[in-house]
């Protein structure tokens, strides 16, 4: 007998006694959990396929430990730009052992299924502050026509005469000659 379960955005083919690492579950070690998102159950005589999940099917697992995966290095570089960045990441994982696969939980005693139900596709519950009361929408402002003023043309600066501002080279040499003689 095997089943396909969904947890952490991934699908896993599991059999009783399998040990696998899945995305982190908020469950302490040595606790049992119930996976309600079962996509397929193969019992030997029949195969139950869910659309998307098999109704009344469940997989019971025991949490062995919570741990971090090996470090993955992320290196970025842009050549000839003196840009290099190295970052590391260690994914949080949970190691679980599959205890039992129940193709139909209606036939199972209620005592056997008193575990924490895990639905990892839902975001963890976060206590949010109560939303503030919505204010009534403001009435639209009346449109007011504005008279446009005439635009004044920009003043254009006239270039100054360069010849009048600077003495000619010949005049400079005459002025120097007078100073030298004095």
pLDDT in tens, 139-165: 887 777 777 777 777 777 777 665 555
**Phi/psi zone of residue 80: left (φ > 0), alpha (ψ -120 to 50 degrees), beta?**
left
Angle at 54 between CA 53 and CA 56, to 5 degrees: 125
Residue 100 lies in a domain: yes
Residue 37 lies in a domain: yes
Higher pLDDT, 14 or 178: 14
* Domain that includes residue 82, residue range: 2-118
Number of domains the chain contains: 1
Please state, in angstroms and rounded to a whole number, the distance separating the CA atoms of residues 57 and 42: 11
Cβ neighbours for 42, distance < 8 A, ≥ 6 positions apart = 1, 2, 3, 48
Residue 13 lies in a domain: yes
Rounded to 5 degrees, φ, ψ at 165 are -75, -35
Q: pTM for this structure?
A: 0.60
């Amino acid at each position: 007998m095997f089943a396909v379960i969904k947890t952490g955005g991934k699908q896993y083919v599991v059999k009783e006694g399998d040990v696998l690492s899945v995305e982190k579950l908020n469950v302490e070690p040595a606790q049992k959990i119930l996976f309600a998102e079962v996509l397929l159950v193969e019992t030997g005589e029949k195969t139950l396929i869910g659309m998307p999940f098999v109704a009344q099917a469940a997989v019971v697992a025991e949490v062995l430990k919570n741990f971090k995966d090996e470090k993955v290095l992320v290196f970025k570089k842009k050549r000839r730009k003196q840009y290099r960045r190295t970052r590391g990441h260690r994914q949080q994982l949970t190691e679980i052992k599959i205890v039992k696969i129940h193709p139909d939980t209606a036939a199972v005693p209620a005592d056997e299924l008193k575990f924490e139900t895990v639905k990892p596709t839902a975001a963890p519950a976060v206590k949010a502050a109560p939303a503030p009361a919505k204010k009534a929408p403001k009435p639209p402002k009346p449109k007011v026509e504005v008279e446009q003023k005439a635009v004044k043309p920009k003043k254009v600066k006239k270039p100054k005469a360069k010849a009048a501002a600077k003495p000619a080279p010949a005049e400079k040499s005459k002025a120097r000659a007078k100073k030298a003689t004095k």
